[in-house]
Amino acid sequence: MFYINDDIFFNLKDVDSNILNSFINYPIVQQRIRYQNEKIINFDYHYFELMSLMRIQRMMIPENFNSSYFSEKIYSLIEKYYDKFNSYSIDIKIVCSEVITNKKLFPKINSLIKLEQITNLSYNDSSYQVDIYRERLISNNHFTFIGERNEIINTSKVYSYENNFNDVFLIDNEKKVVRSSKGSVFFIYRNKVATPLNYFRDLNSSIIERLFEKLNKNVDYEFSQESVSLFDVLKANEIFVFDLIGGIYSIKSYKKRKFEVSQTQKISSLIINSVLDL
């Protein structure tokens, strides 16, 4: 079941076709949020990120679109139809209800809130091989990326499946690593942990900055956001992928390079505890 605008639906066939078409045909802004331990993780930052994306896309923001509007709907759904002790992935998607024209610059919007049960945030130690996705480069122009992001991520996932990889690195037009198809990438260089500069609105971006504020209080590691070249990838001692929904995955191999996982195992518990405390 899910919310569309202010109504709860149990089946897509009950939704007005014009509303469904808007989610198919027009650009979507979205946030994916984790619910765990009976609370929405980092909700305020997700909310402000969502409002920022709506402004960039020149969407009309209704007056009632405050943080309580979304959080109350989410908690209401969980209270009525779900088990509050489970963990959930929450998708919030916003789209214009019709095409923008010179006579209607700011059409009304449609919103969707959907929950899906997931496992608790955890570290995954299974085999994990990656490659570089070169067929489409990500522009480091923020506005360009918003329109292309989902399409590039989806096609990169298809590439990884077709070529028997667990994941792929996405690179920009300067051949710098941006992220993986499944989440943010972290590179461990001895006691330094680096993730690529976040110059676009990634689904993880609303949590990384706050996460680093907490992680840098730990004296054993230095966490930073910086440019990461393909050569830097090979210099790393360990690499892992973090996704707020999927968890943490150790990358075991890239090309002929094999990576250790011992430090990632230590850092993963630090990250998970920090995330759940946001």
pLDDT in tens, the chain (278 residues): 899 999 999 998 999 999 999 888 888 889 999 999 999 998 998 999 899 888 888 888 999 999 999 999 999 999 999 999 999 999 999 998 876 666 666 778 999 999 999 999 999 988 899 999 999 988 776 555 555 777 888 999 999 999 999 999 999 888 999 999 999 999 999 899 999 986 555 556 667 777 888 888 877 889 988 999 999 999 999 999 999 899 999 999 998 899 999 999 999 999 999 888 87
The number of residues making up the chain comes to 278
Give the model's pLDDT for residue 204.
Answer: 60
Angle 74-77-81 from CA coordinates, rounded to 5°? 150
Predicted local distance difference test score (pLDDT) of residue 180? 94
* Domain 2-120 part of CATH 3.30.470.10: yes
Residue closest to 157 by CA, chosen among 166, 148, 146: 166
Question: How far, in Å, CA of 175 to CA of 179, rounded?
Answer: 12
Fold of 124-276: D-amino Acid Aminotransferase; Chain A, domain 2 (3.20.10)
- Model pLDDT, residue 92: 96
Q: Are 132 and 257 in contact (CB under 8 A)?
A: no
Task: List, by residue range, all CATH 3.20.10.10 domains of the chain.
Answer: 124-276
Rounded Cα gap, residues 240 and 224, in angstroms? 15
State the span(s) of the chain assigned CATH 3.30.470.10: 2-120
User: What is the predicted pLDDT for the residue at 99?
Assistant: 66
Q: Report the Cα–Cα distance between both ends of the chain, in Å, rounded.
A: 27
Q: What's the whole-model pTM score?
A: 0.87
Residue pointed to by tokens 């919310």: 3
What is the C-alpha to C-alpha distance for residues 190 and 213, in angstroms, rounded to an integer? 20
